[in-house]
Each structure stands twice: as structure tokens, then as C-alpha cells.
Amino acid sequence: MQETLAYSPGGAVNAPPRTDPIDELLAALNRERPPLARLSHDASIPFGPAMRVERFVLGNGLTVLVLVDPSAPVVCLQTWFGVGSRHERVGKTGIAHLFEHLMFGETEGVPHGAFDRMLEEAGAETNAATFLDWTYYHTNLPKDALELTLKLEAQRMARLVLRDPQVSSEKEVVANERRQRVDDDIDGSVSELLYKEAFRKHAYGWPTIGWMEDIKGFTTEDCVDFYRTYYAPNNAALVLVGDVALDRALGLVQDHYGAQEPSKIPVEDVSPEPPQTEERRLEVSKPTATHKVAIGYRSPALGDFDHAPLSLLNEILFSGRSSRVHRALVQEQEIASEVRGWVGSFRDPALYDIYLSARGHHTGEELLAALEPILEAVRRAPVTEAELDRAKARTELSVLQGLETVAGKAEQIGFYETVLGDPAALFERLAAYRRVTVGDLLRVARRYLVSSARTAVYVIPDGSSDDDDDAAETDGDSEEAS
């Protein structure tokens, strides 16, 4: 960017033109590059008080987000794809999660098993996760392994080998994972039932891992079509955080991703969930020693104004032993062994999940009956300023602790870029927490904690378990899907 020249009355130039360093960098990087490999600088975005995320876009549509943090000689590289279970269709559920497995397989020139081995030998560690709105792959690596990591990541984005043996093998791995984490797991199966019952139109109603019949029915052609559609540079954000030299890192991205062609991303066709006007209730028998109940109230989308105050209200109700629900149901009435709540952080409106596990012979009906006066209290009158202040402090501390590592920074950048289109939205969210008033909490309690719009799944012991889970007393938290 050039500064406007100022002239003195005598016509002399007061100041020389000033060149933006980013412009100079891009001019050097783009010299003799083909159109798909040419970088443009989209924005320089403050990330907290002292750091900046530089957003670049490759000619093929790949978003590149770089935060230089030289505090340690390490780098976190993450690739976020704008595809999750919400982008699937009926009969093909679980294919986004299946690809999380397939992506660790063979690529052209790199045999099966070599991806992990080469990175481990270079001192790196890698993993992946899939959820409703996204899929991402992350690698923590020493700085001198950057070129190798980018090469391998670019290869599997464009040159994954998909043949019948590989697909069949991974389908069986995922089927076994579903048996362990859902079919044979009480929490997993109950959560699946809760979302299936609460969402009858929206794609959030089917599980990220997919229905078993869909998993078994995938063909290699299904996988090839999905890969060619969604695993493309114009549907991905590459996040680099750590001790990197900006010019070298961007040059490597051009080298390894610049030849990849963009794909035509389908228009997303997700049906909005109609308003729920009456309570939905399910009862299931499970091999558990005690009764449980899972409750889903409607919740706002992550980008909605109400999401921050509802999250703080959940902090007051469920976070820690001093929370209202824990004190009442676990410590005072002694009818519950575990209580937890979580406000869904998704692109579209989702659920405020509440999970209660009974102590002894108390029932799910008793648990919900004991919970209702606590919820009525926050609907009827404001919480105290002291409670709100504590909730804000705990929430802010948790957020800031999550940014202590390069991996923590990269995950927040990639998540908010993918879901909200703003890699620094976390700090806007912190500001939103600080602005919340007790009146905001009263409003969201009345708007969302509505019994006629809730879904409840009651778990009844089937008599086959002798496990004593009365002693479990945990605060609970959401579990990352993978």
C-alpha cells in the first residue's frame, strides 16, 4: 500500500513512497508461479493483544492462516475441511467420519502405514477429528519437519488411493468403533437417541459416526465421489501456528499445494428444524445399575447473540461442585451421582444437553422433578451478580488456558474460521462474555429452558448390571468426536 505523496509549495517531495512488506513478500513469492499457486493477502487479523493471524488465499482457493509464535521451536499444522456429518445425505451417513480413517492410508507414492511412520520418525504426532460441521487433521511437529509435513498433507489432500480393499478394511474398523462407542456404550447410544428424536428434519439428527447400515453399504465409488467433491483446496483452511518464517512457510505451501485444482462445492441443502411445540419423551432399557436421564433443550447457534449468555448460565447451573445443580442434587438431596450440561457450539441452532445419573434406586423422573425447581428459579428471578462474575472468570480462564500451546491456538483459529468465518472470533466471544448481564441470563433462561420444547431420554436398568456407579461424581464435559 502506497502513501499519498505530500508536496511543499516549492514542489519538493516531503516523503518517499512506502511499500507494504506483505506486498513485497508476495511479489517475490508469486514471481513465475502459475495462477493456481499465486498467493493473495486477504487480511491481517489481531489475535489477542500482541499477535496477528495473516490470512492468505492461494489461487486454487486454499485459505492459509499463519500465526508466527517463536516462543518454542515447534509448529502446529492443522487442515480444516468444511465438511462434517451435516453435509451428508440420508443413506450415506457417516462418510465424513469414514474419511477421517481413510486419510491415514495410502497415497500415490506413499504406501499404507508410511504416513504415520515418517512423521513419527521426524518427531511429529498426528491425529484427526470429525463432528457435525467440520473435519480436521492436526500435526504437532518440530520446526525442521515442516516441509515433510506439508508434503505429506498435500499428497493426501489430492492423491489419496481409494480401492476396494482399503475401503472395506476401514469400513470394518468404523463398524467396530460404532459397536464400542455407541451400540455397547450407554452414554453414546443415549446421546444418539436424544439427537435423533430432537432433530427430525435437520442433519444434526443423525450421528457423526453414521448409522450401521450406511457404514456397511458404502462403496468405493461413494468414497471417490465424496473425496473429489469435498477434499479440495477451496474447501479447506490450512492453519500454521508456531516458530515459522513466513516467507519460507508460504513458499512451501505454494510448492506443495499450488498444482491442486479446486472442485465445485455443492450448495448446502440442510433443512431447518421446525419449532418444537411439545415435549418428546423416550424410555430405553440398558445394562446399567442406576437410572439416568438425558435432556435436550433447544439452544442457539454459536454465532447467535444468545449463545454467550446461555453458556454462562450453564456454568452457573452445572460447572463444578459449587454449581446450583450439583449442590442441590448431589450434595444436598443425594439423589444424583453425576450431573452435567453443555451448550452445543455449532453453526446452526442445536441442543443444550443436560445429563443426570441417579444415585441408588432413584429414578429419572425424580431427577427431572428435582431439576425443574432449579430451572424455574433462574427463569423467575435473576442470578446474583457474584454468581455471574464467577462464571465469567472461570470461563475466561478456561479459554485463555486453552491458548497456552501452539496446538491450542491453531485449534481455535481453525474452528472459528470454519464455523464462523473469523479465525479470531474467540476474542470477540470473550468480549461478549464480559458484556453479559444478569438480565441477559434471565432472558435466555425464559427463552430456551422451555419444557414444551425439550426432549428427554429416560434410561431404565434392565437388571443385567451389578456395577456400582453411585460413586462417580464428575463435573462432566463434552467429548470430541473422532
Angle at which helix 246-257 crosses helix 21-30, to 10 degrees, equals 30
Q: At residue 16, does pLDDT exceed 70? A: no
Confidence of residue 270 (pLDDT cuts 50, 70, 90): confident
pLDDT at 17: 56
What does the pLDDT look like over 220-265, one tens digit per residue?
Answer: 999 999 999 999 999 999 999 999 999 999 999 999 999 999 999 9
User: What does the block give as the cell for 100?
Assistant: 477421517
| Beta partners for residue 286, in sequence order | 461
* Model confidence at 475: pLDDT above 90: no
Cα-flanking dihedrals φ and ψ of residue 248, to 5°? -65, -45
Q: Is pTM beyond 0.85 here?
A: yes
SS3 category, 67: strand
* Per-residue model confidence as pLDDT tens digits over 322-344: 999 999 999 999 999 999 999 99
Alpha-carbon distances of 60 from 23, 305, 410, 417, 418, rounded to whole Å: 19, 34, 22, 18, 18
Is the confidence at residue 480, as pLDDT, over 50?
no
pLDDT beyond 80 at 466: no
Give per-residue pLDDT as tens, 353-400: 999 999 999 999 999 999 999 999 999 999 999 999 999 999 999 999
Residue 298 CA to residue 282 CA, distance in Å, equals 17
Query: Which residues are within 8 A (CB) of 73 and not within 5 positions of it... i.e. 6 or more apart?
Result: 142, 143, 243
Q: What is the dihedral of CA 420, 424, 426, 430, to 10 degrees?
A: -130
Do the Cβ atoms of 102 and 162 come closer than 8 Å? yes
Q: What would the mean pLDDT of 403-410 be, rounded to a whole number?
A: 97
Looking at residues 44-64, what average pLDDT do you find? 97
> Tens digit of pLDDT for each residue in 410-447?
999 999 999 999 999 999 999 999 999 999 999 999 99
Contact 60, 261 (CB under 8 A): yes
The whole-angstrom separation of Cα 261 and Cα 242 is 28
Phi and psi for 74 in degrees, rounded to 5?
A: -130, 160
**What pLDDT is attached to residue 479?**
37
pLDDT in tens, 125-168: 999 999 999 999 999 999 999 999 999 999 999 999 999 999 99
Smallest CA-to-CA distance from 84 within 45, 43, 130, 137 is with 130
User: What's the pLDDT tens digit per position in 169-217?
Assistant: 999 999 999 999 999 999 999 999 999 999 999 999 999 999 999 999 9
Region 55-77: mean pLDDT is 97
pLDDT of residue 465: 67
Does residue 49 surpass a pLDDT of 70? yes
pLDDT of residue 14: 57
